Structure 1
Amino acid sequence: MSEGMDDKQQRSRRPGGRSARVGAAVHQAVTDLVGERGYSGFTVSEVAARAGVADTTVYRRWGSLEELLADVTLTRLNTRSPMPDTGSLAGDLHTYAAQVAREITGPDGLTVLRLTVALSGTGEQGLRARDDFLADRARRLQSMLDRARDRGEQPLDALTFLDHVMAPMYIRVLFDVGPLTAEYVDGLVDRLLAGPPRAVTEPGITEPKR
């Protein structure tokens, strides 16, 4: 193959390679800045400077800081561990809960959780992104629970799992109220499998009489 053809092929590959590098650098810059300063504690210019790119590059690709934050959050969340298929409901739930615990206590776990919560305040685009992600996670979780039902195991709905396993883990990490030990995470799943408390869904709940 000629040297000219090699040069042409290299030039044709550069845009995609550079685009991926720019995207990764900008995403990492956002993650680092959120970890250091919290959500909305920085500007596009600071993200660009941290990533080593021009402001115009960020605006051209993402349009605004809000859209960039949504993209970072969804990218991080959608690259998480796949839904397990161990052959039993107990095995699936224990494995999945342990995966989530590792993810949210990892190097960027708290930052990603904060970004996920912050999507609600980033306008219509952020709300759509948040809702799309939640719907996708619910479908994936329900598919795991449906497999258990098809095997003849006791049915369980996705919201019950979220209420009794996921929510306590998120609260512990977001508010730093306790470690996510393996024993704690397994205990959440074990109590759910033993029979979760019945949810109160009726309207008009009042405080108990004093």
Structure 2
Amino acid sequence: MAIKEGLRPGGRSARVQDAIHSAVRALLQEQERSTVTVPQIAARAGVTPSTIYRRWGDLAALLADVALARMRPDSEPAETGSLRSDIRAWAEQYLDEMSSEPGRNMMRDVQASATPGYCVAIIGAQLQTILDRHPHEAAPSVDRLINLVVAPVVFRILFSAAALEVDELHRLIDIALRLD
């Protein structure tokens, strides 16, 4: 899917990947995603289409790689003072970002790419950061938070006409934090 492991970070391969990712993002801003093609991306990035096919295999894998790169957090989750409020702040931001049109498209691209476990790893790391900040508070596992908070958010975004309401999100967080 993405550039093979073991390549020098920051070298020519990284520059090519950055150029291709930038080209994809720019084209998706300018036109419908259904009209974006590998030759357009290659021309915009200054590479040949074979470079894209060699590194990603197909357009779906490239779109998923660009989407996954967007999912990587730029910073740690907000620190608000308590476990409950940190999780609420993180979950509200996640709901807001993922229920936007770019967020929905990103989730569809990732879903279509067959990259199991990667999203769970990213989200799990963010949630673990929050849990680690509050060692003296009784806390659920990362898996419990993913199952009871994140999964319903994703399901509603992908398979419902309306995203989860914030009040319902808060109720799910309260359930996840109850350690019966």
TM-score by length of 1: 0.62
* 4+ residue segments displaced more than 4 Å: 16-22, 30-33
How far the C-alpha of 1:72 sits from its partner, in A, is 1.1
| Partner residue of 1:181 out of 165, 170, 174 | 165
Residue of 135, 145, 157 corresponding to 1:161? 145
* Displacement after TM superposition at 1:80 (Å): 6.1
Instruction: Say if 1:98 and 1:182, in contact at 8 Å, map to a contact too.
Output: yes
User: Is residue 104 of structure 2 the alignment partner of residue 110 of structure 1?
Assistant: yes
For the residue of structure 2 that corresponds to 1:24, the secondary structure is helix
1:204 aligned residue: none
- Where does structure 2 lack aligned partners over 5 or more consecutive residues? 1-13
- 2:86 pairs with 1:88: no
Q: 1:91 to 1:58 in 2, by over 3 A?
A: farther
Over the aligned positions, Cα root-mean-square deviation in angstroms equals 3.4
Q: Does 2:125 align with 1:139?
A: yes
Identity, % of aligned pairs?
A: 26
Larger-Rg structure: 1
Tell whether 2:25 aligns with 1:27: yes
Task: Tell me, yes or no, if the aligned pair for 2:39 and 2:49 is still in contact at 8 Å.
Answer: yes
Aligned equivalent of 1:48, options 20, 34, 39? 39
Q: CA deviation at 1:185?
A: 1.9
Change (3 A) 1:53 1:172: same
Identify if the C-alpha distance between structure 1 residues 146 and 61 changes in structure 2 by more than 3 Å, giving closer, same or farther.
Answer: same
CA deviations on 1:58-82 (whole Å, 9 max, x unpaired) are 4325622254234212112114663
What is the TM-score of this pair, normalised by structure 2?
0.71
1:109 CA displacement? 0.9
Letter in 1 for 2:123: R
Change (3 A) 1:171 1:132: closer
Equivalent residues of 1:172, 1:180 under 8 A apart = yes
Q: How many residue pairs are counted as aligned between the two chains? A: 164
Q: 1:164 deviation in Å?
A: 0.7
1:57 aligns with one of 45, 48, 57: 48
Amino acid at match of 2:23: A
How far residue 167 of structure 1 moved from its aligned partner, in angstroms, is 0.7
Q: Which runs of 5+ in 1 are unaligned?
A: 1-15, 121-126, 199-210
Aligned match of 1:72 in 61, 66, 88? 66
Q: Tell me: CA distance 1:131–1:101, structure 2 relative to 1, closer, same or farther (3 Å).
A: same
